[in-house]
Amino acid sequence: MKISPYTQAQATHFDREPAKGIAARVVIGKSDGAPNFCMRVFEIAPGGHTPRHSHDWEHEMFVHAGAGEVYGDGQWHPLASGNVVFIPANEEHQMRNTGKELLVVVCLVPGTAPEL
Amino acid sequence: MKISPYTQAQATHFDREPAKGIAARVVIGKSDGAPNFCMRVFEIAPGGHTPRHSHDWEHEMFVHAGAGEVYGDGQWHPLASGNVVFIPANEEHQMRNTGKELLVVVCLVPGTAPEL
């Protein structure tokens, strides 16, 4: 069993367009022996955003803290703490922080996808 | 894309030993088209607990809110908001709420496991 604050995992920073203000952590992955899927936690700074992209694997997300928006189906949708987001494979998506605090999102991918 | 507060999913209540004070929700699962893994959210009331058990699939957990403990490797460990827990297949485990607020835990299982 592994138990740790998500902040204990090493952060990878993405702060060059098309990404801005992102600290990304693999918190449960292959190096922990996770066989089927991978948990990452993204901190998006106020004004920051992820790239707008699509890929052939799905996301299952849980918004832990903060306020922002997610782009999908051609428009932006509000995101708040406690929201759940499912993005099927090949759907274009993007997240941005529209608030004043960190936007913290737990985002899982299948084991066949890149961990980060 | 599906976006919703986790509380919008229908809750299943477990309140008879060996479980106590549990509201469980499948928030992303097969009915959403999720092909590989399933996200559930468990609310554990103050004084409540999950059963102590093991099974042949893993858990990847994220503690969203509250305070409690998780049993594993023969002892209880403290749990707080922002903690990540990985429980490999076949490891005995249990959670309990030792605080005064709801303990809210996001818990994922592979698609081969029961959703709830």
Each residue's pLDDT tens digit, A62-78: 999 999 999 999 999 99
Nearest Cα of chain B lies from the Cα of A10 at a distance, in angstroms, of 14
Residues A87, B36: C-beta atoms closer than 8 Å:
no
A78 prior amide bond cis, ω within 30? no
| A22–B contact, CB cutoff 8 A | no
Residues B39, A84: C-beta atoms closer than 8 Å:
yes
ipTM value for the complex? 0.97
Q: Please give the C-alpha separations between residue B68 and each of A99, B75, B76, B80, in angstroms, as whole numbers.
A: 29, 13, 10, 7
- Whether the Cβ atoms of residue A97 and residue A48 lie closer than 8 Å to each other: yes
Nearest Cα of chain A lies from the Cα of B56 at a distance, in angstroms, of 12
Q: What is the pTM of this model?
A: 0.98
CA distance A93 to B29: 20
Q: Model confidence over B14-72: pLDDT tens digits?
A: 999 999 999 999 999 999 999 999 999 999 999 999 999 999 999 999 999 999 999 99
**Chain A positions in Cβ-Cβ contact with residue B27 (cut-off 8 Å):** 62, 84
